[in-house]
Amino acid sequence: MARSDRLGYDRSYRASQEALIELYILSLGDGQVFRMVSDTDFTGIVSFAGKAFAASQIVASGFRWQMPGAAVRPSLDIQRPAKPLLAAAHNGQLEGAVMQRIATFASELDAPHGTGGQSCFMPEDWPVNRYTRLQDSRLQIELGSIAGFEGKFLPGRVMFSDFCQHRYRQYDVRTKGFDYHNATCPYTDSRYFTAEGVQTKNPAEDSCSLRLESGCKKRFSAALPFLGFPGVRR
Amino acid sequence: MISPSVYTRLEAYARQAAPQEACALLIKKNNRWQLEKLANLAANPETSFAVDSAEIERLQDGREAMFFHSHPFGPGYPSLADMHGFMAGNMDWLIADISVQPAQFFTLGHHRNTDLHRRPFRHGVTDCYSLIRDYYHQVFKLDLPEYARGWQWWSEGQNLYRDQFQSAGFFQLGEGDPLQKGDIALMRLRAHCVNHAAIWCGEGLLFHHLASGHGYDPHRQPQYDPAERFAPFIEGWLRHHTLLS
């Protein structure tokens, strides 16, 4: 239905976006977990995917993605932290702890705040770097990015141009059938090819070369599920 | 079997009645289907139909019959109301989608579809639950109940898999329980509740019938897939109580 505002414009085309909610999960090395949400959005308890998040006085800042320059150091400022959290901080248990940040739309929260869709954006993990303030009434944590730690290399995963990284099915000699446990390649057909890409009638010889021409294109016709990057140079 | 000439006559009748929904009764006489037109008595004959049940009974006169109606603007699958109507009676229903050329006929039948591997996705007729139902009938000789369902019931307030599995004789497996052939994986695919299910074939393989964005898609055929690919979408596992091992 078209709705006009007082100037006569139809505003029904406007894209309406719901409130974006940020949820914080602080996981300690000893298994303790603290779930929090900023109290500027909610009071009491907010539930997401069956887990309860306590509305707390949190100010989160500095979260961003950047390529050049110094590593990002976001911080989480918690006013009047919960007693167990404060105790953990005093005992040094926040060392090695990881803060997970989950962004989602309000409608994805469980009832009564949303419809329980449970979908969210990619959760981000931010390890605790140090405390910048530790008082009874205030806990300020500085976070670091995982890539900023010593011994971490980028990229985290190697891109191969020639090889597919799917796990192919295995022929089981005992059952005379294929084992698809942990297989990620969608191929389930009964046309068999050897590792050289030659068609064979013997299922025991079925093996994928993991190559585009001799493996993938032999098995699939239209959309190739090739999990390599033929476009990269090496 | 309905002969091509009957289909031709039904299509001509439905196109002539458009934009209203056409209704008819097919009665078997001397091994041939005879067409008896019925008046559409609905208040909105362009979006629904109503027929005189006494008239049907009089025309049928105890003989084998099929009920026909048309969807002038589609869709190519039964509506929730169609499925309710079909399940309330014991006649097979023939529906024609005349929004396409040539008209697409499909049947809501009481017989079982025995071809598990070649069938288009048609919600309510050959969808993910129909596949499970036909598979159980064929492999385990088990008759699972039919449920009236409308396309995208999962976003229209229904939660059929979750609400009905117990009454259909299934129980939920615990996490880590070993699986056996015939177990059902419940999945949530781009929805707020479980809206898809697949059959475990053993050896890490699932057999299922995926939908696309449309209630009717001839290119979506039942398929085998490694379960690993669908692991992120699986919300739980079911087993029929008669298949306890």
pLDDT at A117: 76
Percent of chain A with pLDDT over 70: 88
> CB–CB of B228 and A183 under 8 A?
yes
The pair of structure tokens assigned to B116 is: 């598990």
Which CA distances in Å does B196 have to B20, B166, B169, B176?
A: 34, 16, 18, 21
Compute the average pLDDT of residues A99-120.
Answer: 86
Q: For residue A3, what pLDDT band results from cuts at 50, 70 and 90? A: very low
Which residues, 6+ apart, have CB-to-CB distance to A37 below 8 Å? Answer: A21, A22, A23, A24, A46, A53, A54, A55, A56, A58
Give A181's contacts in chain B (Cβ within 8 Å). 203-204, 227-228
Give B227's contacts in chain A (Cβ within 8 Å). 180-181
Q: For residue A8, what pLDDT band results from cuts at 50, 70 and 90? A: very low
B201 given a catalytic annotation: no
pLDDT tens across A127-179, in order? 998 888 898 899 999 998 877 666 666 667 778 888 999 999 999 999 899 99
Nearest Cβ partner of A178 from B203, B223, B227?
B203
Mean of pLDDT over chain A: 85
User: Within 13 A of B148's CA, how many CA atoms are on the CB side?
Assistant: 11
In the block, which residue shows the tokens 């901080």? A89
Contact call for residues B33 and B26 (beta carbons, < 8 A):
yes
Report d(CA B86, CA B122) in Å as an integer: 16
Q: For residue A44, what pLDDT band results from cuts at 50, 70 and 90? A: confident
List beta partners, residue A177: A172
ipTM, two decimals: 0.79
Number of CB pairs, chain A paired with chain B, less than 8 A apart: 41
Nearest CA in chain B to A188: B224
Nearest CA in chain A to B225: A186
Nearest CA in chain A to B223: A188
Of residues B117, B186, B176, B109, the one with CA closest to residue B154: B186
Q: What is the DSSP string of A143-183?
A: E--GGGSTT--SSSSPPPSS---PPPPEEETTTTEEE-TT-
Which residues, 6+ apart, have CB-to-CB distance to B156 below 8 Å? Answer: B150
Q: Is the peptide bond before B19 cis (omega within 30 degrees of 0)?
A: yes
Report d(CA A36, CA B112) in Å as an integer: 53
Give A182's contacts in chain B (Cβ within 8 Å). 204, 226, 228
Q: For residue B121, what pLDDT band results from cuts at 50, 70 and 90? A: very high
pLDDT tens across B218-228, in order? 999 999 999 99
> CB–CB of A175 and B203 under 8 A?
yes
Mean of pLDDT over chain B: 93
Which residues, 6+ apart, have CB-to-CB distance to B229 below 8 Å? Answer: A184, A186
Compute the average pLDDT of residues A182-187.
Answer: 93
Please give the helix or strand (H or E) that residue B9 lies within, else none.
helix B4-17
B208 given a catalytic annotation: yes
In the block, which residue shows the tokens 């446990």? A181
Give B224's contacts in chain A (Cβ within 8 Å). 188
User: Within 13 A of B223's CA, how many CA atoms are on the CB side?
Assistant: 16
Give B229's contacts in chain A (Cβ within 8 Å). 184, 186
Q: What is the reported pTM?
A: 0.73
Compute the average pLDDT of residues B147-167.
Answer: 92
B128 given a catalytic annotation: yes
The radius of gyration computed from the CA coordinates of chain B, to the nearest angstrom, equals: 20
Q: For residue B76, what pLDDT band results from cuts at 50, 70 and 90? A: very high
B 175-234 residues with CB < 8 A to A: 192, 203-205, 223-229
User: Within 13 A of A167's CA, how many CA atoms are on the CB side?
Assistant: 13
Q: Is the pLDDT reported for residue A38 higher than 70? A: yes
Report d(CA A202, CA A210) in Å as an integer: 19
Nearest Cβ partner of A188 from B192, B205, B228?
B205
Nearest CA in chain B to A181: B204
Neighbouring C-beta atoms of residue A108, cutoff 10 Å: 21
Q: Which of B23, B71, B123, B128 is catalytic?
A: B128
